């Protein structure tokens, strides 16, 4: 349960959005669609409106009650495949409805904090590169414990036996949500950096992966530009090969194993990603991750409020 003090995160997001609304009235270069993308998005929105008008199901009306930003996002990811986009919209609707996803600053901050608490050292970095528009996520797979995520535990504020599962699922969802604040970032795609040094079988659960992909990740509207796995061992390579059948296609196609961090002489080093990202300390970095996520959320909120398909 989010406490009252976390109300400041939603207030922070809203204040940043107001500042952006006052500061600019010009066309935003990060939100310009190509002619093809605009046609795809308009076709998708029309298909959704037709589906709504022909259905008496209240759930269908709610499902397609999306912002123009979201229609454009789905259109870009599906590259004009309307049925694929409609299926993804339906899958994400069920996920949001089942788990009460509201995209508020409070909820985003809460679940990012909770997943870092549940899986200490797992999340190393979240950002959007302002020069290239890449979303960037860095994680340490050796710090992931699926047993914690799957353990039923009623020792939480809501007495919810699925609490640990929800933290893992919603936390990872928001990791991907915040690094896509604009249509330019959605088009450019996501760079995922995965530290694999020390990965063992205890870091892998087919039960967790199947449920994770089935309930959310398989429908997530994201393009994976590159997934770079660092310091992979034989076990890590086997884990990736076992996960490939359920990976999103763009993630599978962009996967590169056996990467190494390079030194100043461009030679491979024995450094782990955590040696680079967790400075000066994990606690400082985790606070910075939440603050950065609030700024990215404000950017996305601003873009959703101002972008119109026309």
Structural domain includes residue 222: yes
First and final CA of the chain: distance in angstroms? 40
CA distance 176 to 136: 9
Which pLDDT score is estimated for 25? 45
Q: What is the CATH number of the domain that holds 157?
A: 3.40.525.10
> pTM to 2 decimals?
0.90
- Cβ pair 97, 207 in contact under 8 A: no
| Domain range enclosing 287 | 4-31+101-306
How many domains does one find in the chain?
A: 1
Is residue 292 one of the residues assigned to a domain? Answer: yes
Examine residue 70 and state whether it is found in any structural domain, yes or no.
Answer: no
> 187 in a domain, yes or no?
yes
pLDDT, one tens digit per residue, over 222-273 is 999 999 999 999 999 999 999 999 999 999 999 999 999 987 777 778 899 9
List b or e across 184-201, with b for residues whose CB sees 16 or more CB atoms inside 10 angstroms: bbbbbbbbbbbbbbebee
In the DSSP assignment, the letter for residue 202 is G
Asked whether residue 53 is assigned to any structural domain, the reply reads no
Specify the pLDDT at position 32. Answer: 93
Phi and psi torsions of 128, nearest 5°? -125, 120
Whole-number Å distance between alpha carbons of 186 and 179:
9
Domain assignment present for residue 56? The answer is no
Q: Hunting for tokens 């990740």 — which residue is that?
A: 217
How many angstroms separate the Cα of 97 from the Cα of each of 59, 62, 90, 215, 263? 10, 10, 11, 11, 47
Per-residue pLDDT of the chain (310 residues; tens, 9 = 90+): 556 556 778 888 777 777 665 555 456 789 999 999 999 999 999 999 999 888 777 777 789 999 999 999 999 999 999 999 999 999 999 999 999 999 999 999 999 999 999 999 999 999 999 889 999 999 999 999 999 999 987 777 667 889 999 999 999 999 999 999 999 999 999 999 999 999 999 999 999 999 999 999 999 999 999 999 999 999 999 999 999 999 999 999 999 999 999 877 777 788 999 999 999 999 999 999 999 999 999 999 999 999 999 8
Asked if the structure places residue 291 within a domain, the reply is yes
Q: Give how far the C-alpha of residue 243 lies from the chain's centroid of Cα atoms, to the nearest Å.
A: 18
Helices (H) and strands (E) in the chain, counts: 14, 5
Examine residue 288 and state whether it is found in any structural domain, yes or no: yes
CA distances from 12 to 57, 76, 170, 295 (A): 37, 30, 21, 8
């Amino acid at each position: 349960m989010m406490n009252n003090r976390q109300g400041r995160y939603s207030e922070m997001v809203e204040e940043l959005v107001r500042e952006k609304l006052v500061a600019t009235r010009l066309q935003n270069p990060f939100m310009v669609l190509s002619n093809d993308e605009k046609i795809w998005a308009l076709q998708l929105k029309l298909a959704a409106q037709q589906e709504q008008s022909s259905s008496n199901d209240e759930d269908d009306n709610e499902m397609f009650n999306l912002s123009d930003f979201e229609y454009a996002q789905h259109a870009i990811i599906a590259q004009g495949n309307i049925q694929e986009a409609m299926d993804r919209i339906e899958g994400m609707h069920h996920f949001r409805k089942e788990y009460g996803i509201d995209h508020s600053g409070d909820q985003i901050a809460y679940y990012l904090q909770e997943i870092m608490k549940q899986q200490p050292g797992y999340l190393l970095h979240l950002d959007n590169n302002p020069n290239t528009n890449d979303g960037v996520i860095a994680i340490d797979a050796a710090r992931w414990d699926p047993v914690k995520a799957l353990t039923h535990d009623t020792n939480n504020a809501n007495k919810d036996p699925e609490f640990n599962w929800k933290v893992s699922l919603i936390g990872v969802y928001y990791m991907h949500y915040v690094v896509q604040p604009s249509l330019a970032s959605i088009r450019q795609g996501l760079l995922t950096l995965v530290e694999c040094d020390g990965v063992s079988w205890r870091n892998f659960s087919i039960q967790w992966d199947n449920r994770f992909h089935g309930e959310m990740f398989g429908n997530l509207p994201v393009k994976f530009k590159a997934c770079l796995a660092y310091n992979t061992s034989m076990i890590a390579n086997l884990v990736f090969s076992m996960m490939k059948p359920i990976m999103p296609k763009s993630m599978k196609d962009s996967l590169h194993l056996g990467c190494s961090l390079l030194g100043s002489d461009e030679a491979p080093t024995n450094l782990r990603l955590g040696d680079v990202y967790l400075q000066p300390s994990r606690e400082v970095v985790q606070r910075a991750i939440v603050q950065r996520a609030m700024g990215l959320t404000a950017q996305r909120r601003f873009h959703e409020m101002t972008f119109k398909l026309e």
